[in-house]
Amino acid sequence: GNSVTQMEGPVTLSEEAFLTINCTYTATGYPSLFWYVQYPGEGLQLLLKATKADDKGSNKGFEATYRKETTSFHLEKGSVQVSDSAVYFCALSGKSGSSNTGKLIFGQGTTLQVKP
């Protein structure tokens, strides 16, 4: 079945450091891929998405490229800020036969702590 695997956390960085959070997936067909962010005590917010191979999603300085050959969707940011501290979830939304299911399958989440 479909699954998503993220790198273990927590990830602790100093402000302005470069961030990479790895995400790989297993899926049949061509899923859509997402990154969601969860701030403490809150629900999830969509950070970015990509719907087909080689698409690059970007938002708020974060980027991720849909790599079909490596089944990856790694999240990157060139210079993190303290306000980026949160839990980041990689997710995929796939198909069942010819139908779009809309169901999201999440990775386990990676906690990012950015220190001043």
Partner 1 sequence: GAVVSQHPSRVICKSGTSVKIECRSLDFQATTMFWYRQFPKKSLMLMATSNEGSKATYEQGVEKDKFLINHASLTLSTLTVTSAHPEDSSFYICSASSRLTGGGSNQPQHFGDGTRLSIL
> What residue ranges bind partner 1 (CB under 8 A)?
31-32, 34, 36, 41-46, 49, 51, 89, 93-95, 100-109, 111
Shortest Cβ 48–partner 1 spacing (Å): 10
Shortest Cβ 79–partner 1 spacing (Å): 26
Specify whether the CB–CB gap between 64 and 75 falls below 8 A. Answer: yes
Shortest Cβ 52–partner 1 spacing (Å): 9
Q: Which is nearer to partner 1, 18 or 30 (CB)?
A: 30
Q: Which is nearer to partner 1, 26 or 51 (CB)?
A: 51
Rg (CA), the chain: 14
Q: How many CB atoms lie within 10 A of CB 4?
A: 22
Q: Between the CA of residue 11 and those of 45, 97, 111, what are the distances in Å?
A: 20, 37, 6
